[in-house]
Chains A and B, each alone.
Chain A
Amino acid sequence: MNNTISASNLEIGYSELLAKIDEFNVEKGEIISIIGKSGIGKTTFLKTIANLINPKKGKLSIFGSEPKKERGLIGYIPQKLGLVKHSSVFSNVLQGAVCEEPVWRSISGFHELRTLGKVQDAIEIMELKEKTDEPISKLSGGQQRRVAIARTIAQNPKIILADEFLSELDAGTAENVWKNMLDYVKEKNITLVIVEHNIEWAKLADRCFEMVLKKNKSYSYLKEIKT
Chain B
Amino acid sequence: MINDILDFFRKRKYLTFIITMFVLTWLVFIDLVDGELYRLENSLANLSVFFFESLWPPDWRVFSIRQYNCNSLAAPWPLPTHFFCSQGYIGISETLEMAFVATGFGFLISLPLAILASRNLYSDSIALPIRTILSGMRTLPALIWAIFFVVMVGLGTMSGVFAMTLYSVGHLGKLQYEAIEGLAKDPIDAARAMGLTNSEIVIRVIIPESANYLISQLLYMFEYNVRNGSIIGIVGGVGIGFYLADYLDAQLYRRVMALLIALFFVVLVIDFISIKIRSYFVEETVNNHYLFGYFFRGK
Are A and B genuine complex partners?
Answer: yes
Chain B residues closer than 8 Å to A76, beta-carbon distance = 189-190, 193-194
Asked whether, in the complex, the Cβ of B285 is within 8 Å of the Cβ of A133, the reply is: no
A91 part of interface (Cβ distance < 8 Å): yes
A55 part of interface (Cβ distance < 8 Å): no
Asked whether, in the complex, the Cβ of A155 is within 8 Å of the Cβ of B194, the reply is: yes
Q: Which of B204, B205, B208, B290 contacts A90 (CB 8 A)?
A: B290
Asked whether, in the complex, the Cβ of A86 is within 8 Å of the Cβ of B208, the reply is: yes
State the Cβ distance, A101 to closest chain B Cβ, in Å. 11
Q: Which of A77, A78, A106 contacts B200 (CB 8 A)?
A: A106
Residue of B at shortest CB range from A80? B186
Residue of B at shortest CB range from A83? B187
Asked whether, in the complex, the Cβ of A90 is within 8 Å of the Cβ of B288, the reply is: yes
Q: Which of A99, A103, A133, A157 contacts B286 (CB 8 A)?
A: A133
Give the complex CA separation of A172 and B31 in angstroms: 70
Q: Which of A1-9, A20-28, A109-117 contacts B (4 or more CB under 8 A)?
A: A109-117
B199 part of interface (Cβ distance < 8 Å): yes
Asked whether, in the complex, the Cβ of B192 is within 8 Å of the Cβ of A52, the reply is: yes
Give the complex CA separation of A69 and B211 in angstroms: 27
Asked whether, in the complex, the Cβ of B204 is within 8 Å of the Cβ of A84, the reply is: yes
Chain A residues closer than 8 Å to B55, beta-carbon distance = none
B291 part of interface (Cβ distance < 8 Å): yes
B39 part of interface (Cβ distance < 8 Å): no
Residue of B at shortest CB range from A91? B289
Chain B residues closer than 8 Å to A80, beta-carbon distance = 184, 186
Asked whether, in the complex, the Cβ of A84 is within 8 Å of the Cβ of B189, the reply is: no
Known: A70-B195, A84-B204. A91 touches B186 (CB 8 A): no
A158-183 interface with B by 8 A CB criterion: 161
Residue of B at shortest CB range from A109? B291
A98-136 interface with B by 8 A CB criterion: 98-99, 103, 106-111, 113, 116, 119-120, 132-135
How many chain-A residues does the 8 Å CB contact rule pick out?
49
Q: Which of B187, B194, B285, B289 contacts A75 (CB 8 A)?
A: B194
Asked whether, in the complex, the Cβ of A113 is within 8 Å of the Cβ of B296, the reply is: yes
A85 part of interface (Cβ distance < 8 Å): yes
Give the complex CA separation of A119 and B289 in angstroms: 13
State the Cβ distance, B10 to closest chain A Cβ, in Å. 33
Asked whether, in the complex, the Cβ of A107 is within 8 Å of the Cβ of B199, the reply is: yes
A94 part of interface (Cβ distance < 8 Å): yes
A223 part of interface (Cβ distance < 8 Å): no
Asked whether, in the complex, the Cβ of A87 is within 8 Å of the Cβ of B200, the reply is: no
A213 part of interface (Cβ distance < 8 Å): no
Residues of B within 8 A of A (CB): 184, 186-197, 199-200, 203-205, 208-209, 211-212, 285-293, 296-297
> Could you pull out 20 A-B pairs where Cβ atoms are within 8 angstroms?
A52-B189, A52-B193, A72-B194, A75-B193, A80-B184, A82-B186, A83-B187, A87-B286, A90-B288, A90-B293, A91-B289, A91-B290, A96-B194, A98-B196, A99-B195, A103-B197, A109-B289, A116-B293, A120-B297, A134-B286
**Sample of 17 further A-B pairs with CB below 8 A, known A82-B189, A86-B285:** A72-B194, A74-B195, A76-B189, A82-B186, A86-B211, A87-B286, A88-B288, A90-B288, A91-B204, A95-B191, A95-B205, A103-B199, A106-B203, A107-B199, A111-B292, A116-B292, A133-B286
Top 10 A-B pairs, shortest CB-CB distance: A82-B190, A76-B193, A109-B291, A82-B186, A50-B193, A71-B195, A78-B186, A82-B187, A80-B186, A135-B286
